[in-house]
DNA sequence: ATTGATATGTTATAACATAACAACCCTATG
DNA sequence: CATAGGGTTGTTATGTTATAACATATCAAT
């Protein structure tokens, strides 16, 4: 899916030990599911594993194709239900701009995510952001429940090549 | 479409002279199209008028239904092309969260919009926001081209009623 | 008249998402 | 034990959003 392959998948566009990313996220998910008394079933776990393979966002049908290839389900609701569970539990975030899903970079604590999306290679980095609408909301009396923050642009690697 | 009708359509959730909103936006669009030597055709103008009827976001197919009823086009590309033109010109913004479109509150100058979306009545207010990812981007070397900022919650009017 | 640029009309399909119901698998609780 | 309930998965069908591709129309410049 990336137009720009890299040996080390980047987190925040920086090379890192991605195996650690994956195992840490899975371990956290295991712990949280146990603590919350919710079932981390094979389909749910496998979907999270699939999303953890890279720091790119996958569409629900991409995930479904993977599940299908592994005999874990072939119909859209299977993928959408697993994704909904993972989003509910905070293990996965939905990227509105892409109609796609990405594993959370740090599921161990609740947070409101923000993303930087490289339009060239598809890498998505999760970041922290201040509430950008706090002032406007306070002035108008709007009660914010959730804020989508998604920046699109070029990651450091992709700025080097010609992308007009 | 609103679950909560109001006599005066709000801008920024405050009552205002909406007729002025509409005529100002249309006049600005006229001027800018002339200045830019682009064609403000009947379909394009009508789509903008339709979006200017309220401060709610309309889906492309909602717009299309209106066009169809008026004999201005019945196939999806007609609506999508007009919307793409209006978005390109900055007269309309796309709300990613809703897969829908809304007329710009101030098309007279280029800006990066932010929105507050009431989940109860569907009203969308356009606001200004600081770049919430400037720090993260600077640190990681990410080059931001565009940022989606969409807050969802309850507008002042809708906080009064029970919405659990 | 011919060409080129821009816009619209139309067909068909791709891509994303959910409603609704049936079946399965646990684990209480009687 | 059975059997009822909650949660999960399987499946069908459909709804919703979006675009590719090609045909036609319009108008201005050569
Ligand atoms: Zn990683
Ligand atoms: Zn996260
Ligand atoms: Zn108004
Ligand atoms: Zn605007």
* Residues facing residue B95 across a β-bridge: B100
Chain B residue numbers with beta carbons less than 8 Å from the beta carbon of A132 are 114, 129-132, 149
- The pLDDT profile of chain A, 164 residues, written as one tens digit per residue, is 444 444 444 566 888 899 999 999 999 999 999 999 999 999 999 999 999 999 999 999 999 999 999 999 999 999 999 999 999 999 999 999 999 999 999 999 999 999 999 999 999 999 988 888 888 888 899 999 999 999 999 999 999 765 44
CB A10 within 8 Å of CB A16: yes
Which residues 56-95 of chain B have a CB under 7 Å from nucleic chain D? 59-61, 75-77, 80, 84
Q: A73 CA, C23 C1': separation in Å?
A: 15
DSSP A96: G
Disruptive mutation site among A132, A134, A137 for chain B (greatest number of B CBs within 10 Å):
A132
Structurally, at CATH architecture level, domain A18-162 sits in: Orthogonal Bundle (1.10)
Q: Map out the domains of chain A as residue ranges.
A: 18-162
* C-beta atoms of B132 and A114 within 8 A: yes
- Alpha-carbon distance of B156 to B160, in angstroms, equals 7
Task: Round to whole Å and give the CA distance between A139 and B7.
Answer: 22
End-to-end CA distance of chain A: 20
A14 neighbourhood in chain B, CB within 8 Å: 140
Contact B144 A125 (CB under 8 A): no
Q: What is the pTM of this model?
A: 0.90
pLDDT at B160: 76
B22 within 8 A of B52, measured Cβ to Cβ: yes
Per-residue flag: A72 CB under 7 A of strand D: yes
Q: How many CA atoms lie within 13 A of B15 on its CB side?
A: 5
Task: Give the A:B interface size as CB pairs under 8 Å.
Answer: 147
**What does each of the 164 residues of chain B score in pLDDT, given as a tens digit?**
444 444 444 566 888 899 999 999 999 999 999 999 999 999 999 999 999 999 999 999 999 999 999 999 999 999 999 999 999 999 999 999 999 999 999 999 999 999 999 999 999 999 988 888 988 888 899 999 999 999 999 999 998 765 44
Name the residue closest to the C1' of C19 by its CA.
A77
Which residues are CB-contacts of B84 (< 8 A; sequence separation ≥ 6)?
none
Q: Is A130 in Cβ contact with B132 (below 8 Å)?
A: yes
């Amino acid at each position: 899916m990336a137009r720009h392959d890299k040996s080390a998948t980047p987190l925040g566009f920086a090379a890192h030990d991605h195996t650690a990313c994956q195992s840490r996220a899975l371990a956290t998910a295991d712990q949280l599911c146990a603590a919350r008394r919710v079932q981390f079933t094979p389909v749910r776990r496998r979907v999270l594993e699939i999303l953890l393979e890279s720091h790119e966002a996958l569409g629900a049908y991409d995930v479904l194709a993977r599940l299908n290839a592994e005999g874990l389900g072939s119909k859209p609701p299977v993928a959408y239900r697993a994704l909904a569970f993972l989003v509910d539990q905070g293990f996965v975030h939905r990227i509105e701009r892409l109609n796609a899903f990405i594993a959370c970079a740090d599921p161990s604590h609740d947070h409101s995510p923000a993303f930087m999306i490289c339009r060239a290679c598809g890498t998505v980095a999760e970041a922290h952001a201040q509430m950008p609408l706090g002032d406007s909301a306070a002035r108008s009396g709007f009660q914010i429940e959730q804020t989508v923050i998604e920046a699109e642009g070029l990651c450091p690697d992709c700025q080097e090549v010609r992308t007009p």
